[in-house]
Amino acid sequence: MNFLSTFVTFENLHEVRRLCHWGPVIALSVIAICSTMAILDSIIWYWPLDTTGGSINFIMLINWTVLILYNYFNAMFVGPGYIPLGWKPENHQDAQYLQYCRVCQGYKAPRSHHCRKCNRCVMKMDHHCPWINNCCGHLNHAYFTSFLLLAPLGCSHAAIIFIMTMYTQLYERISFGWSTVKIDMSAVRQFQPLMPFSVPAFAATLFALGLALGTTIAVGMLFFIQMKVILRNKTSIESWIEEKAKDRIQHYQTGEEFIFPYDLGTRWLNFKQVFTWSGTPKGDGIEWPVHPKCHQHTLTIEQLKQKADKRVRSVQYRAVEDYNGACCPLSKGLQTFFRTPCTEEPRIPLSKGDTILATRGTKWWMYGDKVLSEEQMRAGERVRGWFPRRCVEKCHYDTAASDSTSEKKKD
């Protein structure tokens, strides 16, 4: 058990449940298919026991699989690190610069955000990744990014093996019932395969090649996106906060100068904040090194300004149709069905008369917070998500005044 714990750290046995999700199931299936087919095809194409090149090729293939799984499981099970429940800053005066999380019953430390999926405030949260069924944050950012690098490299190596295997085996015989393809490949193929390469094997190799190429492109793009924010010592959420800060300053013409506080000036210093030889990132996840012109709460103060501006800009709507919270509701029209937001953000069910404060939207969908009762707000409940635009109408009157008028009529 001690040997296993050096590779994967389980916070508790319940963490194993993270495997029971469509994201890890698909990701591990792709890894298993590509690795298994690459091993079998490497035996057919380049038998590892006869030549040094074959041995190196086979060892590298096994090495890719081990490293990919090592970083994948660490990213999943080590986790991002969570802010302790009920956390408060040591200096009580700093609480005025922080947002309060009603769910965790504590303040959000700098760079932390509450994840609806994990139901906790996450240290230096970048995003919630469905492929590892966990958040990417402070403690597992390096493991996650390493996985994004190793997966395309391993799949590229596997794709070369798939291509060379099919290329060299075509000269033998691939019969499709009406003709036989024979190509002289003696210059390329040097070793007699010990395993048969039939039509089903060819189809399986072709399928694995498609998976490998698709993974290389998709995951490779994610790696470049992650490295772009890491080299600036940001997260994906913080990049969005910085953009909104610039828009807010430009909109209100405040003349402020927003400096991102966590950029240390050079890419190398920013890189070392995430990647270390020990595998454990620098810092405790609560306090961070900052730019000389900034302080620990520069970003949190900006978040509070944006939150206040968001409340000012929010528009009140009232539900005129019931909505059950379906992701793609066909009953709400074809455009609503086909134009559903491509995001994992939740949908909120609506009943006639519900009040919603909308903050953003598209032509067919809107996003906002449902107005809850005082008891629900005290309990820390928050209902926020997408809903069809056709289910609501804009309120052109004061809700409180309307309610008081209706009560007088009843009296």
Q: What confidence tens digit (pLDDT) does each residue in 344-368 have?
A: 788 999 999 999 999 888 899 999 9
Contacting residues for 83 by C-beta, under 8 A, at least 6 apart: 104, 106, 108, 109, 112, 120, 121, 122, 123, 285, 286
Instruction: Give me the domains of the chain, ranges plus CATH numbers.
Output: 2-80+139-230 (no CATH), 92-122+232-307 (no CATH), 315-400 (2.30.30.40)
- Name, of 12-26, 159-173, 226-240, 382-396, the range with top average pLDDT: 226-240
pLDDT value of residue 274 = 95
Q: What confidence tens digit (pLDDT) does each residue in 167-186 have?
A: 877 755 444 443 444 444 44
Q: Is 34 a catalytic residue?
A: no
**Do strands 384-388 and 365-370 pair parallel, antiparallel, or not at all (unpaired)?**
antiparallel
pLDDT value of residue 51 = 81
Mean pLDDT of 13-34: 90
pLDDT value of residue 188 = 41
Considering 101, 104, 121, 129, which one is annotated as catalytic? 129
Mean pLDDT of 57-79: 95
Of 197 and 408, the structure prediction assigns the larger pLDDT to 197
Q: How confident is the model at residue 152 (pLDDT cuts 50, 70, 90)?
A: very high
pLDDT value of residue 12 = 52
Query: In this model, does residue 405 exceed pLDDT 80?
Result: no
The H or E element containing residue 121 is: strand 120-122
The answer to whether the CB of 379 falls within 8 A of the CB of 347 is: no
In this structure, of 1-10, 79-88, 112-121, 170-179, the range with the lowest mean pLDDT score is 1-10
The answer to whether the CB of 111 falls within 8 A of the CB of 297 is: no
pLDDT value of residue 165 = 86
Q: How confident is the model at residue 328 (pLDDT cuts 50, 70, 90)?
A: confident
Mean pLDDT of 340-346: 82
- Stated pTM of the model: 0.82
For residue 154, give both structure tokens: 């391993």
**What's the chain's average pLDDT?**
85
Query: In this model, does residue 403 exceed pLDDT 50?
Result: no
In this structure, of 13-27, 166-180, 322-336, the range with the lowest mean pLDDT score is 166-180
The answer to whether the CB of 339 falls within 8 A of the CB of 364 is: yes
